[in-house]
Structure 1
Amino acid sequence: MRAEPLPSVPPPSAGNPFAVELGGAEPVPSDRRHGRPWSLATLWFGANVQFATLSVGALSTSVFGLDLLPAVLAIAIGTLLSSSLVGLFSSRGPLTGVLQLVQARGPFGRLGNLPSTAFTVVNGVGWCVVDTLLGVFILRDLTGMSFGPALLLMAAGQLAVAVIGYRMIHYVERGLAVLLVVVFAAVSWYGFGEARPSAPVEPFADGTTSFLLVVAVTAARVLGWSAYASDYSRYLPASAAPRRVFLAAAGGSTLAGVWIGALGAAIGTLGALDNPSSMVSRVLPDALGTAVLVSLLLSTLASTVIDLYSGGMAALAAGFTVPRWVPVLVVGGLGTALSWYAGHGDFASLLQDFLLMTGYWLAPWTAVITVAYWWPERGSHDVSRLYDARHRFGWGLPAVLLAIAVEIPFMNQSRYTGPLAEAQPALGALGLFTGYAVAGLAYATLTAWRPVPNRVPATDTRQPAAATTE
């Protein structure tokens, strides 16, 4: 297949972290790469040491009714499974220099990839809603301001960082990583110290079902990052060792996810999850509680900017030829508008349904990407093929759609319960894992008759007269 010319990239900003990033879905030229894999550890640690992680952990005890020890075990399993995928996908960023969704054009094709890009925009909007609401809860507790002004203040702070772009996001996450370790260490002292071994509510279902649901919900939370993973490693030099990239990304995500998720489970044993910020403040002394809530507000903002940034990038990967900051504003605007509506509902139910809904798509999608690039030694690093307009469709989309059809009887949400989930609740919790297995097997079978692409050196994307803003 003849390669089309790679898209050109705009001039750099002389490394100024406050300059708006101008690059979009183009490959990052090899002579503009920088950084070390360690930066991914602080980024994914900072992204996961946040209020949403705490709230999802609290679901395990305060909503699903697991006792503390099995809840922590379920959180650890779900976090480890999905964080490993984040690490695996991050390892392809330095090899290709392109966005995660541009890489997905390989198994899906340019047109077959459009549903993936659309879903990623929806995922970015959805997480913007969740995190914005958490920030609004904190602002209202701290200042007493009404819902509307708090919502606008959160939206302005989130968009300011996301519009600036990649380098500013790394700066923010790196700075917060140190602060949040100190803050959550203090919260852990009180949260684990006052935790009770038993759940405060009756089990959602039998013990096995509740355990599997917590694994699924926790895995779905981290899976949301998988569609973005290479977006934050594509600036690393091509010489960055894949093993180190994997360990940095997966390690930072796992460490933070297990720690903060377990802390949420511990705090969740003290009462039902209603207003998440009051859930934290009630276990802390007043002065410390205020400092912790301020830090949680910053961590929530830092998490949301990743979703806004990559949600905007997804629109560019779909083929929209607009400046990068335009879709970021659109995603942020939609998230803010929906936050107004969602903020007057049941937060715990909203969070649970959203996590499972995203997981039903992301589990099959990640399976296709995994098989396409790692099993068995299929992946090509030929970037030019990803930009060839004649590569319209691949077997990725049929495999994902088949998996979603298989998942439907397993679905278990407040608005819809599939027949298998209704008859046997334990089976409902297996929907995500079933979708992953079906999609991976389907894609491997559909592509078995085709020649496996040989691994080739990464395309040299250097262009003497241009460079990507970092």
Structure 2
Amino acid sequence: MSSSDKALAPSQVETRSVDFVPHAERFGKARDLRNVWFVGNVNLTAMATGVVALSLGANLIWTIIAVVAGSLFGTFFMAFHSAQGPQLGLPQLVQSRAQFGYIGAALTVWIFALANYIAYNTSDAILSGSAMNQIFKIPAELGFFIAAVIATVIAIYGYSQIHFVNRILYWPSMVALGLMTIGVVVRGKFPEGAFDLSNFQLAPTMTAFVIVAGFQLGWAPYVSDYSRYLPAKVGVRSTFHSTYWASAMSGVWVFGLGALASGPNGDLTPVAAFKEVGDSIFAGFGTILLILLLAGLLIVMSVNAYGGSLTLISMLDSFKSVKPTKKLRVAALLVMGITVWGIAQFVGEARFNTFYGNALVFLAYLFTPWTAVNLVDYFFVRKGVYVIGEIFKKDGIYGRWGWRGNLAYIIGLVTMVPFFVTTPYVGPIAKSLGSVDYSLFVGLPVSAIAYLILAKGIDLKKEAAMAAAEGNLTK
């Protein structure tokens, strides 16, 4: 095996981090993404998203409708980000320097992205600890630590190890979901009015939609990290479809099961509710189900830790030039693991629903303007043509601050604020509309249109000539 990462074996530690993946080192097929993004949603935290959605106040049938719509909507944007990976060979957030600038990306997008990784992995660690307590009878606090360690070790091996483990878990995950679906049907016991379509409440239904869409959109800042080693010839269409259908369908299935599992007894914790469903099939299956869901959760934690480490390195590099070595990536992963463990200890299982629900909503707000700016730039302004070398230069053609992207982001976010619906704050327009959350439908078009207008001054011919001379986009 050569020292390059081409066809890197799962047992080898990945050497690359935030740098460009040369075409000679690319490998794999679009269908490899199906394993990652199907299994990515088959875990305790994703299932708990359905529990949180149901707890908002809508009845079961309208919660499920919101879950389906939110998953299909949020995944649509996430999958288009995935499509950038094979074409550019870059981690998603590094590519954001083209819109937000070398330093600007670090002070806006990357800070929010880091919060995203930490919030999700904190939630994951809490549920992992709870599951370990149920399965192995160890203290949940110790479970937080064990989960952080396992996720960090997998993430240290990197890209190929993550793909490898997801490939192994694909069919067991499918079987687990199928059996859990049977368990939900067998157990039954849904409250009166659970499936009454006439009992429609707009506010909790829309908030459930935002939470689920936000969960799927939360993958966007690092989704192309797992497609960047694919050959550029894979193409946008096949990358999009492999990502979209795997993630959207598993999302609908898992979020829906979460809502159905907690429907009969909303007082149970998510982990206890899922165990009860498993045991309704046969005694002891609840424990087997938790083990499978725990395995999926640990893999997702490694995915988050991997992306978070790349973000930390990119932020550091924005202020002080660093060489993206294997040791630096390991150090960044250790920082991520310790941070997640510490916050999980502070939040604890008792405050999980409140912490997780608010985290999902706020992260959806923060990433909505970014996804609009990034996708408009890639597909409509620069049309996939970037000068890769300039992205790594502080004073390159993309500048330090990228005022166009940052201004469009701020405009989009500011216009969303009056539409916010959260526990600590409800915007004035949202109040006048009955506390219904329309913020995503405001932020996306406003940010996109603002960036399209501001981008008219970009010298696209000059950039295209530089990209052609550089040759990194040659397929």
Q: Give runs of aligned pairs for residues 156-305 of structure 1, distance below 5 A.
A: 156-195=149-188, 196=190, 207-272=201-266, 274-285=268-279, 286-305=283-302
Are residue 71 (structure 1) and residue 68 (structure 2) matched? no
**More RCO (CA 8 Å, sep 6+):** 1
Distance 1:31 1:254, change over 3 A: same
Equivalent pair of 2:151/2:301 in contact (CA under 8 Å)? yes
Unaligned residue ranges in structure 2 (runs of 5+):
none
Are residue 388 (structure 1) and residue 393 (structure 2) matched? yes
Query: CA–CA distance in 1 between the matches of 2:44 and 2:469?
Result: 39
Equivalent position amino acid for 2:409 in 1: V
Query: CA–CA distance in 2 between the matches of 1:131 and 1:273?
Result: 20
The 3-state SS of whatever aligns with 1:20 is coil
1:182 Cα deviation after fit: 0.7
**What are the superposed Cα offsets for residues 370-400 of structure 1, whole Å, 9 maximum, x if unpaired?**
1111125643143223223212122111111
Query: CA–CA distance in 2 between the matches of 1:230 and 1:460?
Result: 21
Query: Which residue matches 1:98?
Result: 90
**What are the superposed Cα offsets for residues 324-374 of structure 1, whole Å, 9 maximum, x if unpaired?**
121111112111100001115422111110001111111111000111111
Query: CA–CA distance in 1 between the matches of 2:195 and 2:272?
Result: 18
**What are the superposed Cα offsets for residues 247-304 of structure 1, whole Å, 9 maximum, x if unpaired?**
0011110110011111112112112154211011112323111110111110110111
2:447 alignment partner, one of 439, 454, 460: 439
**What are the superposed Cα offsets for residues 395-452 of structure 1, whole Å, 9 maximum, x if unpaired?**
111111222222222222222232333343344x112332222211211121234444
Query: CA–CA distance in 2 between the matches of 1:154 and 1:325?
Result: 17
Unaligned residue ranges in structure 1 (runs of 5+):
1-9, 463-470
Range with greater deviation from structure 2 (298-307 or 321-330): 321-330
Range with greater deviation from structure 2 (343-352 or 184-193): 343-352
The 3-state SS of whatever aligns with 1:65 is coil
Detail structure 1 runs of 4+ shifted over 6 Å in the superposition.
199-203
Equivalent pair of 1:274/1:348 in contact (CA under 8 Å)? no
Are residue 349 (structure 1) and residue 346 (structure 2) matched? no
Query: Which residue matches 1:151?
Result: 144
How many residue pairs align between the two structures?
A: 450
Query: CA–CA distance in 2 between the matches of 1:425 and 1:96?
Result: 44
Distance 1:17 1:70, change over 3 A: same
Query: CA–CA distance in 2 between the matches of 1:98 and 1:420?
Result: 39
2:74 alignment partner, one of 63, 82, 86: 82
1:135 alignment partner, one of 128, 146, 149: 128
Distance 1:53 1:12, change over 3 A: closer
Query: CA–CA distance in 1 between the matches of 2:214 and 2:118?
Result: 16
Query: Which residue matches 1:307?
Result: 304
Distance 1:247 1:458, change over 3 A: farther
Equivalent pair of 1:27/1:461 in contact (CA under 8 Å)? no
The 3-state SS of whatever aligns with 1:366 is helix
Query: Which residue matches 1:40?
Result: 33
Distance 1:273 1:373, change over 3 A: farther
1:66 Cα deviation after fit: 2.2
Query: CA–CA distance in 1 between the matches of 2:203 and 2:426?
Result: 14
Query: CA–CA distance in 2 between the matches of 1:376 and 1:28?
Result: 24
1:35 Cα deviation after fit: 0.2
Distance 1:198 1:31, change over 3 A: farther
Query: CA–CA distance in 2 between the matches of 1:444 and 1:357?
Result: 25
**Greater share of helix:** 2
Distance 1:358 1:199, change over 3 A: farther
The 3-state SS of whatever aligns with 1:48 is coil
Identity of paired residues, percent? 25
Name the TM-score, length of structure 2 as normaliser.
0.89
1:48 Cα deviation after fit: 1.0
Query: Which residue matches 1:467?
Result: none
